[in-house]
Amino acid sequence: MRKLLDSFTDERLKELSVEEDLYNYPPTQEELNSLARIALAVKMAEPVAWKWRGAVGDIWTEKKEKADFVTKFCPELPVTELYTTPQLNSPEIPEGWKLVPNMPTLGMLSVLGLTGSFESMLGRYADMLAAATESNHD
Protein backbone atom coordinates (compact mmCIF):
# COMPACT_ATOMS: atom_id res chain seq x y z
CA MET A 1 0.00 0.00 0.00
CA ARG A 2 2.91 2.31 0.77
CA LYS A 3 4.14 1.90 -2.80
CA LEU A 4 0.75 3.07 -4.11
CA LEU A 5 0.80 6.12 -1.87
CA ASP A 6 4.39 6.93 -2.81
CA SER A 7 3.36 6.97 -6.48
CA PHE A 8 1.58 10.29 -5.78
CA THR A 9 3.69 13.42 -5.42
CA ASP A 10 2.71 15.87 -2.68
CA GLU A 11 1.92 18.40 -5.40
CA ARG A 12 -0.44 15.97 -7.18
CA LEU A 13 -2.25 15.09 -3.96
CA LYS A 14 -2.74 18.80 -3.26
CA GLU A 15 -4.17 19.28 -6.77
CA LEU A 16 -6.57 16.38 -6.26
CA SER A 17 -7.64 17.71 -2.86
CA VAL A 18 -8.76 21.11 -4.18
CA GLU A 19 -12.15 20.93 -5.85
CA GLU A 20 -11.50 23.91 -8.12
CA ASP A 21 -8.31 22.29 -9.46
CA LEU A 22 -10.16 19.13 -10.51
CA TYR A 23 -11.46 20.93 -13.59
CA ASN A 24 -7.94 21.85 -14.71
CA TYR A 25 -6.19 18.71 -13.45
CA PRO A 26 -8.75 15.87 -13.47
CA PRO A 27 -7.64 12.56 -11.94
CA THR A 28 -6.86 9.65 -14.24
CA GLN A 29 -8.73 6.39 -13.79
CA GLU A 30 -5.51 4.83 -12.48
CA GLU A 31 -5.22 7.59 -9.85
CA LEU A 32 -8.85 7.13 -8.80
CA ASN A 33 -8.38 3.37 -8.47
CA SER A 34 -5.18 3.81 -6.45
CA LEU A 35 -6.76 6.34 -4.10
CA ALA A 36 -9.79 4.09 -3.62
CA ARG A 37 -7.54 1.13 -2.73
CA ILE A 38 -5.57 3.26 -0.27
CA ALA A 39 -8.76 4.63 1.34
CA LEU A 40 -10.25 1.14 1.59
CA ALA A 41 -7.10 -0.25 3.21
CA VAL A 42 -7.03 2.56 5.77
CA LYS A 43 -10.75 2.21 6.48
CA MET A 44 -10.52 -1.56 6.96
CA ALA A 45 -7.36 -1.45 9.09
CA GLU A 46 -7.65 -3.43 12.29
CA PRO A 47 -5.88 -2.51 15.52
CA VAL A 48 -2.71 -4.52 16.21
CA ALA A 49 -2.63 -3.77 19.95
CA TRP A 50 -4.49 -1.98 22.72
CA LYS A 51 -3.25 0.08 25.67
CA TRP A 52 -4.63 1.63 28.81
CA ARG A 53 -3.18 3.34 31.86
CA GLY A 54 -3.25 1.15 34.93
CA ALA A 55 -2.09 1.71 38.51
CA VAL A 56 1.49 0.83 37.51
CA GLY A 57 1.55 2.88 34.28
CA ASP A 58 0.76 2.10 30.66
CA ILE A 59 -0.30 -1.47 29.97
CA TRP A 60 -0.64 -2.87 26.47
CA THR A 61 -1.68 -6.14 24.87
CA GLU A 62 -1.91 -7.65 21.41
CA LYS A 63 -4.93 -9.73 22.47
CA LYS A 64 -8.32 -8.17 21.74
CA GLU A 65 -9.96 -10.35 24.39
CA LYS A 66 -7.87 -8.69 27.13
CA ALA A 67 -8.76 -5.22 25.87
CA ASP A 68 -12.44 -6.20 25.71
CA PHE A 69 -12.23 -7.47 29.30
CA VAL A 70 -10.76 -4.16 30.51
CA THR A 71 -13.38 -2.20 28.55
CA LYS A 72 -16.22 -4.25 30.03
CA PHE A 73 -15.10 -4.62 33.64
CA CYS A 74 -13.00 -1.46 34.12
CA PRO A 75 -14.90 1.27 32.23
CA GLU A 76 -12.95 3.95 34.11
CA LEU A 77 -9.83 2.88 32.17
CA PRO A 78 -10.16 4.12 28.59
CA VAL A 79 -8.64 1.60 26.16
CA THR A 80 -6.82 3.04 23.14
CA GLU A 81 -6.57 1.08 19.90
CA LEU A 82 -3.10 1.03 18.31
CA TYR A 83 -2.61 0.72 14.54
CA THR A 84 0.43 0.20 12.34
CA THR A 85 -0.61 3.22 10.25
CA PRO A 86 -2.11 6.55 11.33
CA GLN A 87 -5.88 6.58 11.30
CA LEU A 88 -7.98 9.11 9.42
CA ASN A 89 -8.51 12.22 11.47
CA SER A 90 -12.01 12.91 10.26
CA PRO A 91 -14.59 12.38 12.97
CA GLU A 92 -17.27 9.83 12.34
CA ILE A 93 -20.60 11.62 12.02
CA PRO A 94 -23.26 9.97 14.22
CA GLU A 95 -26.59 8.86 12.79
CA GLY A 96 -28.98 11.79 12.43
CA TRP A 97 -26.22 14.42 12.41
CA LYS A 98 -24.90 16.48 9.50
CA LEU A 99 -21.53 18.13 9.21
CA VAL A 100 -21.92 21.80 8.30
CA PRO A 101 -19.26 24.46 7.75
CA ASN A 102 -18.61 27.24 10.26
CA MET A 103 -18.96 29.71 7.39
CA PRO A 104 -22.20 29.13 5.45
CA THR A 105 -22.53 29.49 1.71
CA LEU A 106 -24.92 32.07 0.31
CA GLY A 107 -27.12 29.19 -0.89
CA MET A 108 -27.34 27.78 2.65
CA LEU A 109 -28.35 31.16 4.02
CA SER A 110 -31.01 31.56 1.33
CA VAL A 111 -32.49 28.11 1.96
CA LEU A 112 -32.57 28.86 5.69
CA GLY A 113 -34.57 31.98 4.92
CA LEU A 114 -31.98 34.23 6.50
CA THR A 115 -32.30 37.58 4.80
CA GLY A 116 -30.87 41.01 5.37
CA SER A 117 -27.31 42.22 5.32
CA PHE A 118 -24.69 39.55 4.80
CA GLU A 119 -23.09 40.36 8.17
CA SER A 120 -26.47 39.99 9.87
CA MET A 121 -27.04 36.61 8.21
CA LEU A 122 -23.57 35.42 9.25
CA GLY A 123 -24.27 36.53 12.82
CA ARG A 124 -27.56 34.62 12.96
CA TYR A 125 -25.90 31.53 11.47
CA ALA A 126 -23.15 31.74 14.13
CA ASP A 127 -25.85 32.05 16.83
CA MET A 128 -27.58 28.97 15.40
CA LEU A 129 -24.34 26.95 15.54
CA ALA A 130 -23.66 28.11 19.09
CA ALA A 131 -27.15 27.01 20.16
CA ALA A 132 -26.81 23.55 18.59
CA THR A 133 -26.49 20.62 20.98
CA GLU A 134 -23.09 19.00 21.27
CA SER A 135 -22.57 15.48 19.97
CA ASN A 136 -21.69 12.96 22.67
CA HIS A 137 -20.50 10.25 20.27
CA ASP A 138 -16.91 10.16 21.59
The verdict on 31 and 58 lying in the same domain is no
Quick one: CA dihedral 95, 99, 105, 106, positive or negative?
positive
pLDDT at position 28, please? 87
The average pLDDT across 73-99 equals: 77
Q: Which domain holds residue 54?
A: 49-82
| Listed range (42-51, 98-107, 129-138) with the worst mean pLDDT | 129-138
pLDDT at position 97, please? 75
Per residue in 2-37, pLDDT (tens digit) is 677 778 888 888 887 777 777 777 888 888 888 888
The average pLDDT across 88-117 equals: 72
The verdict on 101 and 138 lying in the same domain is yes
DSSP string, 33-97: HHHHHHHHHHHT---SEEEEEETTEEEEES-HHHHHHHHHH-TTS--EEE-SSPPP-SPPPPTT-
pLDDT at position 18, please? 78
Q: Is the model's pLDDT at 40 over the cut of 60?
A: yes
CA distance 76 to 20: 47
Residues 6+ apart with CB under 8 A from 62: 48, 49
Q: What single letter denotes the amino acid at residue 114?
A: L
pLDDT at position 39, please? 80
Q: Is the model's pLDDT at 138 over the cut of 60?
A: no
The average pLDDT across 121-138 equals: 74
Domain count of the fold of the chain: 3
The average pLDDT across 42-60 equals: 87
The verdict on 36 and 58 lying in the same domain is no
pLDDT at position 90, please? 57
The verdict on 37 and 53 lying in the same domain is no
